[in-house]
Amino acid sequence: MTTLVTGAAGFLGGHIVRSLVARGEPVRGLDLRPGVDVVADITDEGAVRAALRDVSRVIHVAAIYELGTRDPARMERVNVHGTEVVLAAARAADIPATHVSTVAALGPTGTALVDETHWNDEPSRSAYAATKRKAHLVARKYGARIALPATIFGPGDPSMFGRAHRMLRRAPFGIVARPDMRLCFVHVEDCADGVLRVADRGEGEYVLSAGVLRLGEWLARFKSPALAVPDPLLDLGARLAARVPARLRERSALVRLLHEAGAMSAGVHWAYDGGRARRELGWSPRALEGCIADAAA
């Protein structure tokens, strides 16, 4: 049973590919970056159809993951239209599909734990969350199995969150914003295992969250915070960033990041529970307390 994995050269996609290889299963990787079987853009319908030939299933991981993107139109094209292309081609070829979404697609929460049935109707607070929500609805339309990872961490994480962990480990003192915001986390290896369990025997949607911690508690495991940024100051910065003219905002990654990160964290939490995957799929992620060091590797 050959599995096509889109985004196969990425952080999560690469772990999924390695897990399949370790299981002795044939894999075909598709990515824009070299080092995979098929170097192609997921928005290229012909290339996607060709990549799907002689495969038994597809795991769609490819997406642009970024806060403060300089090119929202490209993010929309890849995350939304690309998902449509992949899942439509899979349906046309009668190939089962699993879509890797994110808890950000369901929207922010309160302090209490929620599960896959949660849906926050407020407008998305970042281009990433907005495009992944649209992609999530595309996946529902095509009846794909859906995995919903929490915030992924692990050695070599190239994301903004991973870079922040490494910077904090090297910094002379800790700084934290929104210390009481509750976030859910999952190690990349456990996330890859969860995605494969969803693809193997899942039905519907599954949150992949190993647990929830306050952001201040999480960051204190790298370096005890000596300075907390007051919420009103961060809120003011986000509002000012939103008022910067578009042409100037495009030139400043810091302004774009302040705008979206401030909005994504203002007065909300991301407290998702992975209980369904544990109960129905036998998923057993490692405890967060035992693998914090991996996040800064």
pLDDT in tens, 278-291: 999 999 999 887 66
pLDDT in tens, 49-71: 999 999 999 999 999 998 777 78
Residue 99 · residue 87 · CB < 8 Å: yes
In degrees and rounded to multiples of 5, residue 184 shows phi and psi of: -105, 150
Q: What gap in Å lies between CA 207 and CA 272, rounded to an integer?
A: 7
Q: What gap in Å lies between CA 255 and CA 266, rounded to an integer?
A: 16
Between CA 104 and CA 102, with CA 13 as vertex, the angle to 5 degrees is 10
Q: What gap in Å lies between CA 198 and CA 100, rounded to an integer?
A: 10
Determine the residue type at 172: P
Residue ranges making up the domain that contains 154? 3-294
Question: Residue 179 pLDDT more than 80?
Answer: yes
Stretch 114-126: mean pLDDT: 93
**157 pLDDT tier (thresholds 50, 70, 90):** confident
pLDDT in tens, 192-222: 999 999 999 999 999 999 999 988 888 777 7
Question: Residue 270 pLDDT more than 90?
Answer: yes
Determine the residue type at 235: D
The three-state secondary structure class of 34 is: coil
pLDDT in tens, 73-87: 999 999 999 999 999
% of residues, the chain, pLDDT over 90:
64
- Please report the pLDDT score of residue 218 as a whole number: 81
Q: CB-hemisphere CA count at 13 Å for 200?
A: 16
DSSP state of 4: E
Residue 97 · residue 48 · CB < 8 Å: no
Q: What gap in Å lies between CA 33 and CA 40, rounded to an integer?
A: 8
Domain count, the chain: 1
pLDDT in tens, 12-48: 999 999 999 999 999 999 999 999 999 999 999 999 9
Q: In this predicted model, which residue has the larger pLDDT, 211 or 257?
A: 211
Question: Residue 160 pLDDT more than 80?
Answer: no
In degrees and rounded to multiples of 5, residue 107 shows phi and psi of: 100, 165
Determine the residue type at 228: A
Residue 85 · residue 117 · CB < 8 Å: no
Stretch 158-162: mean pLDDT: 74
> Rounded to two decimals, what is the model's pTM?
0.88
Question: Residue 111 pLDDT more than 80?
Answer: yes
Residue 212 · residue 183 · CB < 8 Å: yes
Determine the residue type at 132: K
% of residues, the chain, pLDDT over 70:
77
Q: And the tokens for 109?
A: 């929460």
Identify the CATH number of the domain in which residue 138 sits. Answer: 3.40.50.720
